Amino acid sequence: MKITRAIAGSEYLVALMLVLLIIAFRTFLHIAPNIEIVTAAAITTGCLFKNKYLAFAVPMVSLLVTDLLLGNTLIFIFTWSGFLFPVFAGIIQRRLRLQDALYAEVAGTVSTLFFFFWTNLGVVLTTHMYSKDLNGLLNSYFNAIPFLKNQLLGNLIFVPLIFLGAGLLLKAQAQIRISDKELIPLSGHN
């Protein structure tokens, strides 16, 4: 059906824009440690995209490209899987019909906290920075608090911006296609 193709085309365009934006922010537009837009893009695609494979592809492709450019260690297992959580949060948000920026912000905060605890566990397990016991884990969490603050602050700003921006782009794309009469009328009347 033409309507489905229009929505899918809009999602691919927004996905490409988000991937390019993430790559830019992770490479040459880097603001500060742990201020990132992957979480915002992941929540947005999980909530607004009908194509869930594409929703998961946006953060994963972005991370793959930037890690190839910047390098990474075994911690990538934890960072990549940590950025899958916000996609799931966005999907849950959509299923609960809570598709607005306020709920995206809540999902962003929860996702940031999950990422913090998950990746710092990864630091303890995959590096020699901390002892591999509860004391090492607690030290890792304590020492990472400044990074958590940055990530929370960044996501307080970027989650609603990206969520609203992508939502507007998807709506505009659908309206442009409808106004060009590329789609069949929804009412069935001619």
Q: What is the pLDDT of residues 41-90, one digit of tens each?
A: 999 999 999 999 999 999 999 999 999 999 988 999 999 999 999 999 99
Within 8 A by CB and 6+ apart from 7, the residues are 50, 170, 174
Per-residue pLDDT at 171:
80
Question: 98, 103, 87, 10: which is closest to 42 by C-alpha?
Answer: 87
Is the pLDDT at 93 greater than 80, yes or no? yes
Q: How confident is the prediction for the chain on average, in pLDDT?
A: 88
Asked if residue 96 belongs to a domain, the reply is yes
Asked if residue 184 belongs to a domain, the reply is no
Asked if residue 189 belongs to a domain, the reply is no
Asked if residue 52 belongs to a domain, the reply is yes
> What percent of the chain lies above the pLDDT cut of 70?
87
Asked if residue 185 belongs to a domain, the reply is no
* ∠ CA 46-52-55, rounded to 5°: 50
H or E element at residue 11: helix 2-26
The total number of structural domains in the chain stands at: 1
For the stretch 160-174, pLDDT in tens is 999 988 888 888 776
Q: How far is CA 16 from the centre of its chain?
A: 13
Binned at pLDDT 50, 70 and 90, residue 189 comes out as very low
Alpha-carbon distances, residue 51 vs 58, 66, 119 (angstroms): 11, 23, 27
Per-residue pLDDT at 86:
97
Per-residue pLDDT at 187:
46
- DSSP code of residue 84: T
Tokens of 85: 């959580």
Asked if residue 186 belongs to a domain, the reply is no
Asked if residue 187 belongs to a domain, the reply is no
- DSSP code of residue 130: S
Per-residue pLDDT at 175:
64
Per-residue pLDDT at 1:
40
124: containing domain = 2-179
Within 8 A by CB and 6+ apart from 113, the residues are 148
Contact assessment for residue 25 and residue 31, using Cβ atoms and an 8 Å cutoff: yes
Tokens of 125: 């397990």
